[in-house]
Amino acid sequence: MPNITFSHPDYKDKTVYAVAGSHTETILKIARENKLPIQFDCQDGECGTCLVRVTHLGKTKPKGGPLTVKEQTVLQELGKLTADEIEQMSVDDFPPQWRLACQMIVRDEDLLVEYGVN
């Protein structure tokens, strides 16, 4: 099970254990279950309110999971990713640091999730 450390400039960091491999445990779902105040509106990857910066903490290659089409669109609209960066990520199979908490599925890897750092 991975450890996920949630960090916000105004709150004490909190590390939680997450269930990996369920294919349903998003960063937002884990945060809400642990009463962490990540902002969200739509929970469907369309508004960008739940923007987080994710840092892989392991020694192995980050797993991160692919961006959804909605996530790609919103991250481009927010200026966090360019079309060239999205193309390069698909070639390198390397996840970006900016994600939407409602879209990123947790894999078996330790993460630092920074929220409130838009």
Q: How much is the pLDDT for 96?
A: 87
Nearest alpha-carbon partner for 69 in 94, 40, 44: 44
Nearest alpha-carbon partner for 65 in 117, 114, 111, 8: 111
Q: How much is the pLDDT for 23?
A: 66
Q: How much is the pLDDT for 68?
A: 85
Q: Which residues contact 17 (CB under 8 A, 6 or more apart)?
A: 1, 2, 3, 4
pLDDT, mean of residues 110-117 = 92
What is the tens place of the pLDDT at every residue in 28-80? Answer: 999 999 999 999 999 999 999 999 999 988 777 776 677 888 999 999 999 99
pLDDT, mean of residues 91-104 = 88
Q: How much is the pLDDT for 20?
A: 59
CA 58 centroid distance within chain = 15
